Chain A
């Protein structure tokens, strides 16, 4: 069991009376890309947010079940959600840059976690994060311009740069490519592949091709249930559940 980076058992999530996630068991391996697919509203974002306790900020949201990262129960009262989130980074479905300069957006995480000893190191982190997120060539001349002044796709890449600058062990990405053009998408996918060398990545996507390209494992969600979870190749070529099959061939969703 400790082989797994994240292991979730019997997870239930409620928004008030709405039962959004129903008894989900998932084991996510280290140094792997795991894709969550499923029709809109099936609970992919919700489940992703339980993995770094972002649901704590929603008053009406209740989470039950057992979620362990590196064998440690993250919903234990001894766990500090702030530390957890530094370890489990997140890129949100909608780009949400801070109303600060591009530089300050990326430097935000390293600064609050004290990752840089001096300005030069910080510059270094900012540059390498922006390079990895395929934003450096566009942003290098305007590092002091506000991040909110970028285009939607650039903002999304800025948020990716911001998340990897904190050097998380797990990166949760909620539809990171939904606003990107094919070139930027290819660059982000390359980045994901590179990140896999050192961390595990969980990515939510609506693109079957993308899931097939970047992930090793795929989980198919439907109406709050985890219908099928396994090797990406197997899910896309030989799904066990008829619902999975009709979803990937375009019949539900």
Chain B
């Protein structure tokens, strides 16, 4: 039974249940709605929720559990020792099974023929190729056998699924309807049902976060078993080798975090003053007309995808900087040899962060009460004295928060660095030299064809974990500052 069919039947049941629930409630009160415990709609909602929630929950669990169980039982048939070979073979099995399904759907095979097909007598690969399903290698009897078994189990599974889910929905339907009397506290139960739904929604986000963090942690531990921790955290050289001969990779973390910090600091030096000044201009000086034009413009800047900034860095800013600081350039110095440099990426990232800083700070400055400004003007302070001595101090916790948020973004930014800063991991002090960051290296470690269990690829998890810890500390620090300041002046 297909998923759509099951879901539509359940929803239809819920709708019918709602209508019947309302009718039953009204008739249980002999048509006098005032003596019902709850509004009549609640009785209907109660029936609908009792139909929907348990059955859809079972459906969701089933959808996760069935493939796992089938995989386990089918892969027993293949009898392979190595877990990698096993997973490759299972991929083939799934593909063949899918191919057989397509063949039946197109009428090229009857389902009996598919179930009884024999790899010794039929060229399954050819047959599937004819209907547009490409299989990587010839289909062995074991694979075909497993695929047939896979299909069989899936079929039984989906029938059982339909049966169980509908049974639960019907049971809920009957149970909820039978409980309706005029004193039944439908409103309280619906309230609790709504609470459960909200908790479920919140836990999806929380559980996903926990899952991501756990997977980062376990993979980092795996990596650190394959590669010495001291060499990773204190190594000054980043020279991964993809040849797979082993032992020749140097995966030192320091040059990457150096690049990350260097570029982030350049970008903050650009973004914080410009963003803050434009926020002050917009909120304190600009006329409403200017503000209504300039603020959306700044927000458009925030909406530009970072890859576009990356292109801008690569094609415009880099060459411009070379023509100023390169050999024979405007300043007559030879500091810069190529367009990709920490400076290029830092400048462009700074421009990207301006609207971020300014729009947050603008909101915060606007939130400073007008009475505070009046108090200062009333004492004969000028506008800039008022801003410097009253408004900025009052808005400071929020502004610090905005800056730290911008710093988190700078540290996590990837595309601009990939295109603007180059790929050489170096511990240089020269901002006009190519440099790279943690994020850019995560990308390059995973876009090769390295096997996904060598230290060269697993290092991505360790890098991601470290980055995560750094941004987490930054955010905690931001919260701490904001809270400390609040205590003082609220």
Interface centre among A98, A113, A162 (most CB of B within 10 A): A98
Measured CB to CB, the closest approach of chain A to B69, in angstroms, equals: 62
**B393 contact from A52, A54, A100, Cβ within 8 A:** A100
**A52 contact from B370, B378, B394, Cβ within 8 A:** B378
In the complex, A90 has a CB within 8 A of chain B: yes
Measured CB to CB, the closest approach of chain B to A253, in angstroms, equals: 25
CB neighbours of B380 from chain A (8 A): 82-87, 89, 109, 112-113, 166
Return the chain A residue nearest B371 by Cβ. A96
Residue ranges of A at the interface with B (Cβ–Cβ < 8 Å): 52, 54, 57, 59, 82-87, 89-90, 92, 94, 96-100, 108-109, 112-113, 146, 148, 159, 162-163, 166
Residue pair B374, A85 in contact (C-beta under 8 Å): no
Residues of B in contact (CB 8 Å), total 23
**A85 contact from B378, B390, B488, Cβ within 8 A:** B378
Residue pair B372, A57 in contact (C-beta under 8 Å): no
Residue pair A98, B378 in contact (C-beta under 8 Å): no
CB neighbours of B81 from chain A (8 A): none
A94 to B372, CA, bound (A): 10
Residue pair B377, A85 in contact (C-beta under 8 Å): yes
Return the chain B residue nearest A98 by Cβ. B390
Interface centre among A84, A85, A87, A159 (most CB of B within 10 A): A85
CB neighbours of A166 from chain B (8 A): 379-380
Instruction: A109-B379, A163-B378 are known; give 20 further A-B pairs, CB within 8 A.
Output: A54-B374, A57-B377, A82-B381, A85-B378, A86-B380, A92-B378, A94-B371, A96-B372, A98-B376, A98-B394, A99-B394, A108-B376, A108-B389, A109-B380, A109-B381, A112-B382, A112-B389, A146-B488, A162-B379, A166-B380
In the complex, B385 has a CB within 8 A of chain A: yes
In the complex, B31 has a CB within 8 A of chain A: no
Interface digits, B351-387 against A, CB 8 Å rule (1 contact, 0 not)? 0000000000000000001111111111111100100
A96 to B386, CA, bound (A): 14
Interface centre among A84, A108, A146 (most CB of B within 10 A): A108
Residue pair B489, A146 in contact (C-beta under 8 Å): yes
Measured CB to CB, the closest approach of chain B to A152, in angstroms, equals: 13
In the complex, B82 has a CB within 8 A of chain A: no
In the complex, B112 has a CB within 8 A of chain A: no
* Interface secondary structure of B, over-half rule: helix
> With A94-B371, A96-B372, A99-B489 given, is the CB distance from A54 to B377 under 8 Å?
yes
* Interface CB pairs A-B, < 8 A, 9: A54-B374, A57-B373, A59-B288, A82-B377, A85-B379, A99-B372, A100-B393, A109-B379, A109-B380
CB neighbours of B375 from chain A (8 A): 92, 96-98, 159, 162
Measured CB to CB, the closest approach of chain A to B260, in angstroms, equals: 35
> With A54-B374, A96-B371, A98-B372 given, is the CB distance from A112 to B379 under 8 Å?
yes
In the complex, B490 has a CB within 8 A of chain A: yes
Return the chain B residue nearest A52 by Cβ. B378
User: Nearest 3 pairs between A and B by C-beta?
Assistant: A86-B380, A96-B371, A99-B489
Interface centre among A94, A112, A113 (most CB of B within 10 A): A112
> With A57-B373, A96-B372 given, is the CB distance from A112 to B378 under 8 Å?
no
A52 to B389, CA, bound (A): 21
CB neighbours of A109 from chain B (8 A): 379-381
A98 to B379, CA, bound (A): 12
CB neighbours of A100 from chain B (8 A): 393
CB neighbours of B377 from chain A (8 A): 54, 57, 82, 85
**B379 contact from A57, A59, A89, A148, Cβ within 8 A:** A89
Return the chain A residue nearest B490 by Cβ. A148
Measured CB to CB, the closest approach of chain A to B56, in angstroms, equals: 52
A163 to B375, CA, bound (A): 9
Residue pair A89, B385 in contact (C-beta under 8 Å): no
A52 to B380, CA, bound (A): 10
A52 to B385, CA, bound (A): 18
CB neighbours of B376 from chain A (8 A): 98, 108
Return the chain A residue nearest B379 by Cβ. A109
Return the chain B residue nearest A90 by Cβ. B378
CB neighbours of A92 from chain B (8 A): 371, 374-375, 378
Residue pair A89, B378 in contact (C-beta under 8 Å): yes
> With A98-B394, A148-B489 given, is the CB distance from A57 to B374 under 8 Å?
yes
Return the chain A residue nearest B383 by Cβ. A82
